[in-house]
Amino acid sequence: MDTLLLARLQFATTTSIHFLFVAVTLGLVTLLVGMQTAWFVTGNPQWERLTRFWGQLYVINYVLGIATGIVLEFQFGLNWSGLSRYVGNVFGAPLAIETLVAFFLESTFLGMWIFGWHRLRRGVHLALLWGVALTAYASAFWIMVANAWLQHPVGYELRDGVAQLTDFGALLTNPTLGMALGHVIAASLLTGGMLMASVSAWHLLRRTTDFALHRTSLRIGLVTAALAVTMVQGFGFAQFGPVGEFQPTKFGGGPTADAAVAEWTSRFGPGDYTPPALSSVGLGFMILIGFTLGCVWLLLPLLWRDLVIRLRFPLWLTLCALPLPFVAVLLGWLAREVGRQPWAAYGLLPTDRAVSDVDPSLMLASLIGFSLLLGTLAVTNWTLLARHAARGATDPALGRPPGVQDDEPRPTPAFA
């Protein structure tokens, strides 16, 4: 057993599972802001029902996603002490800001939003959700700042063999940051839109009594997915230029790549500086899924006269397409992270020098333990999401007036 391989497998497993939670969280909160804002502006109670229904699914995903994120923080110190010691002064700065400024604020705003129903003024309650969304985007921004530095280290100098931050502004203007951040946000919106459209399609296929409500959420989901998939493709292809420039070995050989390999060989010794084929395979299939999901634009004309519902076949297509954005975000992560190998920080710190000196048996036990834990959280999350989504939006627990019990019958109002 190889400690490096086991450490990489463990980090790949935990980050992959966590990224699925992040994509749903970031996508759904944006749609929630739109729905609750519509409720605030129009006063239509049905927008409140939509906010409560999708908000409940959002909260389930968020709470379980926190546990998967905490595991990642421990791994930097336990499994990748070389990375923390060598570049932690630079790489750790945006992570610390994300934790202190974004994550804690986001959790605070969300807790106040959850327990603020019927206790706070509607404007204050809406402002809290806007705070949740803005801090969620801030969290994604700082995480991508840290990741972009690993892709292309900037704003540092080596002192006594340790990277020291010298230009914080360079982290924020990293050429590998902007398009990658837009790509992640757009992918999250695509995931949230497809999730909303698929759940709505399932209810409409069952001929739900809440026809008008799920019709509305189906339209919101499809339009969001169509706009998001276009942004995904745009931001995705826009990355080829800067990535090819600053990571010359990622997309194959060439004079620039050969020169980089020659320099690394003189600095770090002979070795295989070619990324694994898994990176290219992941990239290819991600692009294929992106073009496939682009077909959602063909469903938008069918929104006229509810043809998308009356024909029913488009609803089945929407439902069957639900796994695709989740597969795509995992493949995108593989293309970005595996394509950086064999570097923990590209051109600066090889992965084999970043891993901790841990006995392989302990690393294997850690891999099995964390995989079982995160796998259980993921299964629990999707089980709860499916269960609460199947109950429909008649009277979600989130936002229920105080004193109202689950077994009290309540009429289902029509969508006005």
pLDDT of residue 405: 56
Q: Is residue 326 part of a domain?
A: yes
Structural domains counted in the chain: 1
Q: Is residue 307 part of a domain?
A: yes
pLDDT of residue 174: 94
Q: Is residue 325 part of a domain?
A: yes
Residue pair 162/190 in contact by the 8 Å Cβ criterion: no
Q: What are phi and psi of 162, to 5 degrees?
A: -130, 135
Q: Is residue 379 part of a domain?
A: no
pLDDT of residue 216: 94
Centre a 10 Å sphere on the Cβ of residue 81 and count the other Cβ atoms it contains.
Answer: 16
Q: Is residue 80 part of a domain?
A: no
Q: Is residue 409 part of a domain?
A: no
Q: Which of 336, 414, 313, 388 is nearest to 15 (CA)?
A: 336
pLDDT of residue 192: 96
How far is residue 349's CA from residue 351's CA, in Å, rounded to a whole number? 6
Helical H segments across 43-80, by residue range: 45-78
Compute CA 333 distance to the chain's CA centroid, rounded to the nearest angstrom: 10
Q: Which pLDDT tens digits describe the chain residue by residue (416 residues)? A: 788 999 999 888 888 888 999 999 999 999 999 999 999 999 998 999 999 999 999 999 998 888 787 777 777 778 898 998 999 889 888 988 888 877 788 989 999 999 999 899 999 999 999 999 999 999 999 999 999 999 999 999 999 889 999 999 999 999 999 999 999 999 999 999 999 999 999 999 988 778 889 999 999 999 999 999 999 999 999 999 888 889 998 887 788 888 999 999 998 888 888 888 888 899 999 999 999 999 999 999 999 989 999 999 999 999 999 999 999 999 998 889 888 889 999 999 999 999 998 889 989 998 898 889 888 988 999 999 999 998 888 778 888 887 655 444 444 444 43
Q: Is residue 289 part of a domain?
A: yes
Q: Is residue 194 part of a domain?
A: yes
Residue 25 token pair: 């969280």
292: domain range? 183-355
DSSP state of 364: H
